[in-house]
């Protein structure tokens, strides 16, 4: 454990040395990420200019869900940045280098692709939640902080498991991009109330590709929507996260066994 913690610290120091050498690029990346998230928030606000509610959810409630959605997504984007895995590690053969080192291969890849600026998105998400919390007049108890941490960890595990499994498909296919861009679009449905979708999509987002557990379901716990079935599912978030992560690691480890090197 100490070895892996030390390894993480060394990668963080190297990241700081390389990225902060070009500070302008670092802050431009942070600004672009925040602008992108801001556009998504503006889209939600525009929608509510044309309707008083969305599937029975008010504007403040949907904004609260979006704020929660940003928190685990920012953490996931920081430590599970696997977007260019296929091109870099399979097509260009860098996986061979990773496998010659003693640390667990997936852990090395995650450290090499860390993106700390994504954490600014999580900070903005917390601010959005706090503002919406006040607008909704929700009661606050110390237990809420603990539950928020538990739900965020569970949501990050859902992300990690799904994208680890999807990234592992690269071991079975020669396609340079894979299906990660498609899943990126699907995950955005999790920031809206799943009740606005038909039964098939609700089932897909809840139990097949459980992106509902990274946004609307855990957020429902704090909104006290007792009549909503989503609130009753919120406590399953950490369990779903662990289950999805286990599946993701299983698929990854099976994929590693199929890997035969970059060849010539």
DSSP per-residue codes, 24-54? HHHHHHHHHHHHHHHHHHHHHHHHTTS-S-B
**Averaged pLDDT, 47-53:** 81
Least-confidence region, from 51-55, 97-101, 139-143, 206-210:
51-55
Q: What percent of the chain has pLDDT over 90?
A: 36
Q: How many other CB atoms are found less than 10 A from the CB of residue 171?
A: 19
193 confidence band (pLDDT: 50, 70, 90): confident
Cβ contact 202:194 at 8 Å: yes
The whole-model pTM stands at: 0.88
CA atoms within 13 A on the CB side of 262: 15
What pLDDT was estimated at residue 225? Answer: 66
Copy the structure tokens of residue 225.
Answer: 């929507």
User: Which of 148, 20, 152, 151 lies closest to 79 in space, CA to CA?
Assistant: 152
**Distance from C-alpha of 205 to C-alpha of 199, rounded to nearest angstrom:** 10
What pLDDT was estimated at residue 27? Answer: 76
Collapse the DSSP code of 57 into the 3-class scheme (helix H, G, I; strand E, B; otherwise coil) and give the result: strand
**Averaged pLDDT, 122-135:** 92
Beta strand residue intervals within 132-176, DSSP E: none
Cβ contact 82:136 at 8 Å: no
**Distance from C-alpha of 37 to C-alpha of 35, rounded to nearest angstrom:** 5
Cα–Cα distances in angstroms (integers) from residue 95 to residues 12, 87, 99, 110, in the given order: 21, 11, 6, 12
**Distance from C-alpha of 73 to C-alpha of 142, rounded to nearest angstrom:** 24
Please provide the average confidence, as pLDDT, over all residues in the chain. Answer: 86
For CA atoms 217, 76, 127, 52, give the dihedral sign: negative
**pLDDT tens profile 197-252:** 888 988 988 899 999 999 899 998 998 765 567 777 899 999 999 999 999 999 99
**Averaged pLDDT, 114-125:** 89
Beta strand residue intervals within the chain, DSSP E: none
Query: Per-residue pLDDT for 68 more than 90?
Result: yes
CA atoms within 13 A on the CB side of 215: 27
Let me know how long the chain is.
Answer: 264
Taking each continuous run of H as one helix and of E as one strand, the counts in the chain are 13, 0
For CA atoms 103, 84, 30, 156, give the dihedral sign: negative
User: Would you give the DSSP letter of residue 239?
Assistant: H
What pLDDT was estimated at residue 263? Answer: 58
**Averaged pLDDT, 90-98:** 87
What pLDDT was estimated at residue 175? Answer: 58
Start-to-end CA span in the chain (Å): 37
User: Which of 98, 101, 81 lies closest to 89 in space, CA to CA?
Assistant: 98
Highest mean pLDDT among 8-12, 48-52, 122-126: 122-126
């Amino acid at each position: 454990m100490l070895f892996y913690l030390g390894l993480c610290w060394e990668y963080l120091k190297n990241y700081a040395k390389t990225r902060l050498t070009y500070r302008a690029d670092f802050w431009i990346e942070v600004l672009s990420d925040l602008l992108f998230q801001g556009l998504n928030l503006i889209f939600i606000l525009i929608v509510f200019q044309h309707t008083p509610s969305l599937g029975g959810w008010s504007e403040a409630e949907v904004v609260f869900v979006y704020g929660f959605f940003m928190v685990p997504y920012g953490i996931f984007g920081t430590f599970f940045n696997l977007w260019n895995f296929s091109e870099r590690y399979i097509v260009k053969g860098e996986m061979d280098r990773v496998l010659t080192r003693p640390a667990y291969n997936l852990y090395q890849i995650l450290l090499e692709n860390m993106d700390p600026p994504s954490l600014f998105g999580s900070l903005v998400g917390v601010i959005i939640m706090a503002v919406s919390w006040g607008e909704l007049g929700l009661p606050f108890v110390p237990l809420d902080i603990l539950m928020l941490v538990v739900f965020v960890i569970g949501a990050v595990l859902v992300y990690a498991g799904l994208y680890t499994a999807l990234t592992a498909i690269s071991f079975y296919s020669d396609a340079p991009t894979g299906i990660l861009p498609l899943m990126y679009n699907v995950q955005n449905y999790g920031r809206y109330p799943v009740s606005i979708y038909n039964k098939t999509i609700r089932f897909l987002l809840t139990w097949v590709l459980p992106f509902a557990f990274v946004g609307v379901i855990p957020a429902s716990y704090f909104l006290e929507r007792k009549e909503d079935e989503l609130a009753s599912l919120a406590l399953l978030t950490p369990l779903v996260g662990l289950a999805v992560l286990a599946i993701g690691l299983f698929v990854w480890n099976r994929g590693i066994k199929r890997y035969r090197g970059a060849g010539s």
